[in-house]
């Protein structure tokens, strides 16, 4: 049975060994060691081919009319990539939102953003199966987590809408993680790593050919690393942003018959870390802000104590903090090569995902002292809190996909059709608790019974916001009331969201001649989403005299059952021209679609939102050059027209008396840009790669709905007309210079490389709406070094060393935009990391 071709692949696309570091279509460069070959009696250098699966079949990268970035496993290790945030640093046009720390990272490509409580705009696939869905109420799941970045064939970042073959929710693009498949050789490795921040990592992989028909592969990745955020409060863990996980993977290939193959993957993850809180960076001195005085008192306290003022210092006042992920998944591929012109492939998957978290998202230390003394009251602002017995995400995902591949008309037509079904449902009620302007007794905050919560209204204590209170305090101090609005409240919203997604698709490429080809694809998607929550809202009194914590004045339960349906056609038309070998030019139009969904946090009718649509136009070229200095150059120019944009719209609910957010189809935006990359082998010992992206994004139109029926005050959209899309740098650059040291062959192979990464300034939140001087994040550059010594002195050992962020650059990855409330907070980029690895190959 021919194992080198996927169903539908052309014969001349036979797979070649992946280069040690790749060239990529708009991708990162490799630490490639050029391969010397004799051609017509002369020594010549060539770039090895890279095989990708961007069109659900194996093809040479340079033959695929898609802008793609590719990282193989060696590059992933060299750059110390262990999570989604690390990946975005080294892929132009790819960025992330780290609002909820490293375990809740959200991808975006070419400016296609994902607001909180919307579905993904970038699909993440492991072994061709979409990542398990997480929670609707916070960022979790839907991506690449810890433990996914080991023993991979490669990671492919597909840029631009991929709605025909990969479905809805890929308006930005798709990220494909391809694990290594069991082979017919007994082989493997054991690898140990160590470094600063007490890095300890152990990997082990073994490949076992049981027989000619059965091949097995097992791998484990266990890593721990001390956090780089220093907790200076003396309460809770010493460090945050640590790493602590164990991932296991097992896969089996069984040749049932000569033409029938069964490939099964089991993956399991147990991650336990201290979470990644934000850092308090500035106070708003303007009079009248609710938390400005408390922020200034917080900084004054830290200064008096002589700690908490360093860039990586954070403050924690929670006795127990954590971010935990438990997940497992089974994936099965069954491939039947019916004949040379027809293959059938069935993909089946079941996954369970749980996430629990309890930590101070904002890392503040806000206290309020009562008027006549008494113990200071702790204000738990910006926390995520898992109540006892309930996770912040808890869901199962079932996927079934049936694909047919084939060729016809003497292989001038390559085609594929398929059916897709996905079902996600909660395993149990999930959801985190939130506090609105309260001081609370922390020991009661995780109690599932709201009558046991003990808090005090902070709004009354500050005397800045009117609110209703029991007792005589409000009248005694002349604080007016605002009917129906309760500022001092705690909300707990147990519930869940169920997704049903069905689709049918077809795509084909017709080759008119050796020079001309056209590809057309069509997909119909039908989505149904429904959610439920029985939100418990407890309202508390305030005491301006002696402070203290009190039981709630009242407890209400607000039950909501939002549901919505959406269906959409998406399509692709692509014209390819290949005038000569090594030259590919293409023009492409693609229709993208992000499904409508529900929002458990909003009031009817704003608890549902409609689909978001994208028209994308792209022109590109992929060029390969031979000769004394073989090279590749890939260029893409594109324009995106985004309509019915799903935007977050914050408001104060008159129905429930709490602050919350709606998702509304309020905007249209335009994005145009340029992406290019190139790789050149300067000599048989020196290679250089450059990748660059330019993005011009603008919100063109913002038509906000009238929320007056549910929002008596405080409406705020997340962006404004004429501004950039969030977290989208205008310029992003990556360059790598790799040098193979001229040592004797008996010494082994030594490659040293330096990588430079530049990320331009970008907008974290709307500067005009927040008034914050901090939401425009500064640009930053990173320098990485790595050294690989393969086959040390002719032995089966490999040695590697790496340094990331060599200059110890300090930079922000996200700023909240809370300036109007009196302070500003940020998520921080990683400091300098260094380490070394020793691998034994067998």
Q: Residue 747 in 3-state DSSP? A: helix
Lowest mean pLDDT among 66-70, 238-242, 355-359, 761-765: 355-359
Closest among 294, 474, 301 to 380, alpha carbons compared: 294
Q: Residue 17: which pLDDT band, with cuts at 50, 70 and 90? A: very low
pLDDT bin (cut points 50, 70, 90) of residue 481 is: very low
Average pLDDT over residues 658-671: 87
How many alpha carbons fall within 13 Å on the CB side of residue 802? 20
Beta strand residue intervals within 469-553, DSSP E: 489-492, 495-511, 516-539
For 605-615, letters b (16+ CB in 10 Å) and e give: ebbbbebbbbe
CA distance 218 to 224: 21
Per residue in 590-616, pLDDT (tens digit) is: 999 999 999 998 889 889 999 999 999
Residue that the structure tokens 């699966």 belong to: 53
Conformation bin of residue 648: beta by default, left when phi > 0, alpha when psi is -120 to 50: beta
Tell me the two tokens of residue 267. 């993956």
pLDDT band at 483 (very low <50, low <70, confident <90, very high): very low
- Residue 690 confidence (pLDDT) above 90: yes
Q: Find out whether 493 and 517 touch, Cβ atoms under 8 Å.
A: no
Q: Which residue has the higher pLDDT, 20 or 443?
A: 443
The Cα–Cα gap between 86 and 117 comes to 23
CA distance 415 to 9: 10
pLDDT in tens, 145-200: 888 999 999 999 999 999 899 988 899 999 999 999 999 999 999 999 999 999 99
pLDDT digits (tens, 9 = 90+) for 730-759: 999 999 999 999 999 999 999 999 999 999
Alpha-carbon separation of residue 114 from 110, 420, 594, 778 (angstroms): 12, 23, 10, 22
Inform me whether the pLDDT recorded for 705 exceeds 60.
yes
Binned at pLDDT 50, 70 and 90, residue 29 comes out as very low
Neighbour count for residue 746 (Cβ, 10 Å): 8
The dihedral sign for the CA sequence 446, 448, 452, 458 = positive
Q: What integer is the mean pLDDT of 789-800?
A: 96
What is the three-state SS of 452-492?
A: HCCEEEHHHHHCCCCCCCCCCHHHHCCCCCCCCCCCCEEEE
Contact yes or no for 172/122 (Cβ under 8 A): yes
- Residue 476: the pLDDT is 32
For the chain, give the longest Cα–Cα distance. Answer: 99
- Per-chain mean pLDDT for the chain: 86
Mean pLDDT of 380-390: 74
411-462 tens-digit pLDDT: 999 999 999 999 999 999 998 787 777 888 888 888 888 889 898 887 665 5
Report pLDDT for 651: 79
pLDDT reading at 15 higher than 50: no
Question: In angstroms, what CA-CA distances link 708 with 541, 599, 777?
Answer: 27, 18, 33
Instruction: Using a pLDDT cut of 90, give the percent of the chain over it.
Output: 57
Confidence of residue 87 (pLDDT cuts 50, 70, 90): confident
SS3 assignment, position 615: strand
Residue 828 CA from chain centroid, whole number = 16
| Whether the predicted pLDDT of 677 surpasses 70 | yes
Higher per-residue pLDDT: 142 or 213 = 213
605 prior amide bond cis, ω within 30: yes
Instruction: Check: CB of residue 214 under 8 Å from CB of residue 253.
Output: yes
Q: Which two tokens stand for residue 403?
A: 């694909």
Comparison of pLDDT for 265 and 304, the residue scoring more:
265
pLDDT of residue 13: 25
Is the pLDDT assigned to residue 793 strictly greater than 90? yes
The residue behind tokens 């649509």 is 613
Helix (H, G, I), strand (E, B) or coil at 295: helix
Beta strands in 653-778 (DSSP E): 659-681, 686-702, 713-717, 731-740, 749-759, 762-763, 776-777
pLDDT bucket at 469, cuts 50 / 70 / 90: very low
DSSP string, 35-49: EEEEETTEEEEEPPP
């Amino acid at each position: 049975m021919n194992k080198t071709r996927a169903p539908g692949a052309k014969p001349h696309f036979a797979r070649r060994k992946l280069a040690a570091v790749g060239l990529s279509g708009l991708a990162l460069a490799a630490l490639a060691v050029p391969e010397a070959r004799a051609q017509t009696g002369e020594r010549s250098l060539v770039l090895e081919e890279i095989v990708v699966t961007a069109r659900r079949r194996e093809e040479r990268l340079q033959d695929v009319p898609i802008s793609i970035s590719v990282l193989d496993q060696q590059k992933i290790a060299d750059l110390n990539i262990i999570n989604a945030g690390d990946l975005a640093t080294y892929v132009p046009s790819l960025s992330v939102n780290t609002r909820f720390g490293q375990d809740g990272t959200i991808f975006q490509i070419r400016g296609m953003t994902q607001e909180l409580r919307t579905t993904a705009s970038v699909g993440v696939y492991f072994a061709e199966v979409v990542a398990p869905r997480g929670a609707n109420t916070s960022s979790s799941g839907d991506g690449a987590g810890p433990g996914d970045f080991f023993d991979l064939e490669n990671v492919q970042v597909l840029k631009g809408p991929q709605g025909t073959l990969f479905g809805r929710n890929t308006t930005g693009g798709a990220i494909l993680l391809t694990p290594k498949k069991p082979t017919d050789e007994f082989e493997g490795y054991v690898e140990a790593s160590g470094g600063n921040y007490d890095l300890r990592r152990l990997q082990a992989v073994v490949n076992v050919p049981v027989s000619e028909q059965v091949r097995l592969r097992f791998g484990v990745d266990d890593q721990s690393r001390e956090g780089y955020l220093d907790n200076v409060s003396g309460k809770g863990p010493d460090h945050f942003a640590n790493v602590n996980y164990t991932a296991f993977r097992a896969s089996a290939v069984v040749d049932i018959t000569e033409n029938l193959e069964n490939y099964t993957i089991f993956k399991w993850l147990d991650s336990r870390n201290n979470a990644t809180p934000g850092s308090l960076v500035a106070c708003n001195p303007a009079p009248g802000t609710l938390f400005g005085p408390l922020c200034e008192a917080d900084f004054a306290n830290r200064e008096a104590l002589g700690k908490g003022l360093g860039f990586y210092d954070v403050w924690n006042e929670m006795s127990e903090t954590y971010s935990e992920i438990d997940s497992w998944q089974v994936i099965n591929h069954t491939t039947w090569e019916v004949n040379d012109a027809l293959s059938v492939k069935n993909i089946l998957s079941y996954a369970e995902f749980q996430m629990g978290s309890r930590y101070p998202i904002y890392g503040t230390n806000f206290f309020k002292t009562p008027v006549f003394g008494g113990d200071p009251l702790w204000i738990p602002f910006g926390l995520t809190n898992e109540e006892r017995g309930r996770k912040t995400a808890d869901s199962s995902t079932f996927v079934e996909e049936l694909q047919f591949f084939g060729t016809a008309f003497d292989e001038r037509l390559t085609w594929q059709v398929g059916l897709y079904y996905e079902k996600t449902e909660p395993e149990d009620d999930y959801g985190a608790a939130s506090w609105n302007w309260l001081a609370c007794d922390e020991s009661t905050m995780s109690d599932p019974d709201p009558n046991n919560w003990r808090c005090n209204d902070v709004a009354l204590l500050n005397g800045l916001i009117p609110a209703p209170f029991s007792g005589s305090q409000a009248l005694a101090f002349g604080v007016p009331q605002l009917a129906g609005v309760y500022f001092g409240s705690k909300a707990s919203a147990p519930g869940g969201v169920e997704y049903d997604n069905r689709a049918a698709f077809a795509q084909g490429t017709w080759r008119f001649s050796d020079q001309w080809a056209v590809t057309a694809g069509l997909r119909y998607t039908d989505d149904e989403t429904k959610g439920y929550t029985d939100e418990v809202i407890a309202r508390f009194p305030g005491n301006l005299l002696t402070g203290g914590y009190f039981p709630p004045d009242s407890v209400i339960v607000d039950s909501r059952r939002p549901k919505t349906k959406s269906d959409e056609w998406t399509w692709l038309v692509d014209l390819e021209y290949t005038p000569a070998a090594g030259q590919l030019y293409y023009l492409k139009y693609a229709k993208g679609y992000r499904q409508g969904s529900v929002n458990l946090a909003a009031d009817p009718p704003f608890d549902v939102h409609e689909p978001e649509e994208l028209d994308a136009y792209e022109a590109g070229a992929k060029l390969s050059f031979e000769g004394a200095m073989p090279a590749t150059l890939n260029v893409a120019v594109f324009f995106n027209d985004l309509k019915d944009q799903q935007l977050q719209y914050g408001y104060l609910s008159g129905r429930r008396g709490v602050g919350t957010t709606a998702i509304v189809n309020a905007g249209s935006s335009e994005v145009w840009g340029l992406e290019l990359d190139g790789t050149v082998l300067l000599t048989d010992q020196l290679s250089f790669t450059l990748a660059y992206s330019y993005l011009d994004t603008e919100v063109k139109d913002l038509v906000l709905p009238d929320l007056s029926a549910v929002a008596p005050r405080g409406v705020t959209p997340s962006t404004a007309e004429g501004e950039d899309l969030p977290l989208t740098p205008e310029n992003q650059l990556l360059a790598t210079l790799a040098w193979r040291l001229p040592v004797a062959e008996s010494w082994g192979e030594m490659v040293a490389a330096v990588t430079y990464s530049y990320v331009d300034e970008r907008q974290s939140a709307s500067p005009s709406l927040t008034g914050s001087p901090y939401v425009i994040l500064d640009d930053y550059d990173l320098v990485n070094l790595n050294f690989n010594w393969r086959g040390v002195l002719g032995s089966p050992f490999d040695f590697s060393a790496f340094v990331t962020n060599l200059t110890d650059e300090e930079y922000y990855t996200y700023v909240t935009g809370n300036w109007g409330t009196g302070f500003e907070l940020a998520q921080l980029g990683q400091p300098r990391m260094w380490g070394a690895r020793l691998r034994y190959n067998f």
